Copies of this chain bind each other. A is one copy, B any other.
Amino acid sequence: MTTTRVPQSERTRVMRLRLLEAAVECLLERGWAGTSTTLVSQRAGVSRGAQLHHFPSKEALVLAAVEHVAERRTAELAVAAADLPAGEGRTRAVLAMLADHVTGPAFTAALELWVAARTDRTLMAAVAPLEQWLGRQTHRTTVELLGADDTDEAQRELVQATLDLVRGLGLAATLSDDRRRRDRVLDRWARVLDDQLPGSPR
């Protein structure tokens, strides 16, 4: 039994992963409204029955897909964080990392989910806790990367403002490719942070 169980669970894991990746692709290409479980199973090359077994509804599938991308993104952030310069330029590099996130597929997929959840109570009940968890995690990481003191009100609020600013930049980027404008805004904000955060590495 043991020898067959392992490959079976591995096949299940791979199938689940294919469904999640296909769901994200579908969400990015066609948006929430254009995404259906049928389309996703076709794209993943997974039977409808197997798909329904893993994810009984479009909501469950898309939510798991966005969670999956967020987790992968969090892991990527941890790797990227290790390469950040110490000292001069660090603040700007942290902002560049955050900007990469909000102009990438994980943010865009999440944006589709957020907007759909606004008018869908069931979806919102699942999305809100996920977002709260992700928000806390991103806040904690940013505090660490910027060397901020989270017990200091001013510093905590500046980190929050940084994440709100970056989220706003991410939303703007879905409408037009405004990288040059974004870079200038982030250059400026890095200077403000270096000026305002005592522990900031200049």
Is A89 an interface position by the 8 A CB rule?
no
The B-contacting residues of A in range 60-90, CB under 8 angstroms, are none
**Residue from A34, A119, A187 with most neighbouring chain B CB atoms (10 Å):** A119
Contacts of A160 in B (CB 8 A): 181, 184-185
Q: Are B157 and A188 in contact, CB atoms less than 8 angstroms apart?
A: yes
**How far is it, in angstroms, between the C-alpha of A131 and the C-alpha of B163 when the chains are bound?**
23
Is A154 an interface position by the 8 A CB rule?
yes
- Chain A: interface secondary structure? helix
Contacts of A42 in B (CB 8 A): none
Contacts of A55 in B (CB 8 A): none
Contacts of A166 in B (CB 8 A): 168
Is A2 an interface position by the 8 A CB rule?
no
Is A9 an interface position by the 8 A CB rule?
no
**How far is it, in angstroms, between the C-alpha of A132 and the C-alpha of B172 when the chains are bound?**
10
**How far is it, in angstroms, between the C-alpha of A170 and the C-alpha of B171 when the chains are bound?**
10
Within the complex, what minimum Cβ distance (angstroms) separates A24 from chain B? 13
Partner of A131, one of B32, B33, B168, B175: B175
Partner of A192, one of B120, B127, B171, B196: B196
Q: Are B188 and A164 in contact, CB atoms less than 8 angstroms apart?
A: no
Do A115 and B112 contact each other (CB < 8 Å), given the known contacts A164-B169, A185-B161?
A: yes
Q: Are A157 and B184 in contact, CB atoms less than 8 angstroms apart?
A: yes
Q: Mark A26-59, 1 if CB is under 8 A from B, else 0.
A: 0001111110000000000000000000000000
Q: A157-B184, A165-B168 are in contact. List 5 more A-B contacts (CB 8 A).
A: A118-B174, A158-B188, A167-B167, A168-B168, A192-B196
Report the 3 A-B pairs with minimum CB-CB distance, sorted nearest first: A168-B168, A167-B168, A33-B33
